[in-house]
Amino acid sequence: MPTLMPAKISLALVLITAPAGAQTRDTAATKASVLAADRNLAKAVARSGGEAFLRALEPGAAVLIPEQPILKGPAGSRSAFIARYGAPSTYSWAPTHAVASRDGRLACTFGYSSFTSARDSARAIRRGTYLTCWRRDGSGTWRVAGTQRADSPPATPAFADSTWLPGGPHSATVSIGSGALSAAIDADSLFAVMGEELAGPGPAFAKYAAEDALIVGGDDFPRGPEGMAAAFATYSPDRVITWRPMRGLGAGSGGLAFTVGHSVSGPRPGKTGPSIPQKYFSVWRQDPDGRWLFIFDLGTSRPGQ
């Protein structure tokens, strides 16, 4: 598998649209608010270390960091998170883009990170990317509902020196029906089934990518259906990517959602080759026709199968 990670999506739903006034909020204001929250969290971590990040997590937040399984909440993440990012290691980041739900309750940020590992004798700076989805609580405070930190890519990511994300996805424009997370997980599951077909992952990614979707990895960031198809054009027919979303994790509201799960790039039955276990974080947006399409996808390594 390329250094890209699975994304997912799509399922036409026949749903009733809730009254616009009941679920519409200024997405520009929501984006400004969540970007400020992300920047403030980065500053708090710079001052106080990893514990500041753990305090920002929801109790059931999905935490995806390299070389670890999918972790859950502050209690389930503390040991691995502090071991990786605590002093004398250093970790910093800056958000460059945000997308928001129609109801202002959920938003996701993307940005670039800088990581120096205490385990690395050369102490080289590793430039990476991240995705974080935030949920606003009853007091108006943004809490981290899920995050994927890809701080040790094999190569410096595209646009790593930018202060913005060229052609970044737009926020939700519709919110049809209820059960956003469940609908996104269902779409993710159907996407996974198509991705296992003999045609390979390319057609599945092309079908379920929004026009402004990005896979955040590789030498560049593949964009939209055509970019997805091109990224997987040389994927070996002897190999297959399998994945499944985890129904106990993720969040969705107001036409926006995120899903997480395990994936494996490995040989098809009867073929030989290495199996590469990974995990993924996908952000989804509802289309005006009711479908859920992915707009961001990012993955990292994990142990085991």
Are 194 and 95 contained in the same domain? no
Are 139 and 32 contained in the same domain? yes
Are 30 and 125 contained in the same domain? yes
Residue that finishes a domain, picked among 133, 150, 167: 150
* Residues 75-100 pLDDT 10s: 999 999 999 999 999 999 999 999 99
Give the total number of structural domains in the chain: 2
3-class secondary structure per residue, 55-99: HCEEEEEEEECCCCCCEEHHHHHHHHHHHHHCCCCEEEEEEEEEE
In this structure, what CATH number is given to the domain that contains residue 31? Answer: 3.10.450.50
Per-residue pLDDT of the chain (305 residues; tens, 9 = 90+): 344 444 433 322 223 233 333 457 789 999 999 999 999 999 999 999 999 999 999 999 999 999 999 999 999 999 999 999 999 999 999 999 999 999 999 999 999 999 999 888 778 899 999 999 999 999 999 999 999 999 988 888 888 878 888 889 999 999 999 999 999 999 999 999 999 999 999 999 999 999 999 999 767 899 999 999 999 999 999 999 999 999 999 999 999 999 999 999 999 999 999 999 999 999 999 999 999 999 999 999 999 75
Are 139 and 192 contained in the same domain? no
- Is the residue at 113 inside a domain? yes
- Is the residue at 242 inside a domain? yes
Which tokens is 226 given? 């055509």
- Is the residue at 19 inside a domain? no
Q: How far is CA 32 from CA 38, 86, 106, 177, in A?
A: 10, 29, 13, 26
Name the residue range of residue 186's domain. Answer: 180-301
Tell me whether strands 57-64 and 142-150 are parallel, antiparallel or unpaired.
Answer: parallel
Are 82 and 197 contained in the same domain? no
Are 185 and 297 contained in the same domain? yes
Cα(235)–Cα(1) distance, integer angstroms: 7
Cα(191)–Cα(292) distance, integer angstroms: 11
- Is the residue at 159 inside a domain? no
Are 81 and 192 contained in the same domain? no
The whole model's pTM is what? 0.91
CA atoms within 13 A on the CB side of 105: 15
Are 80 and 123 contained in the same domain? yes
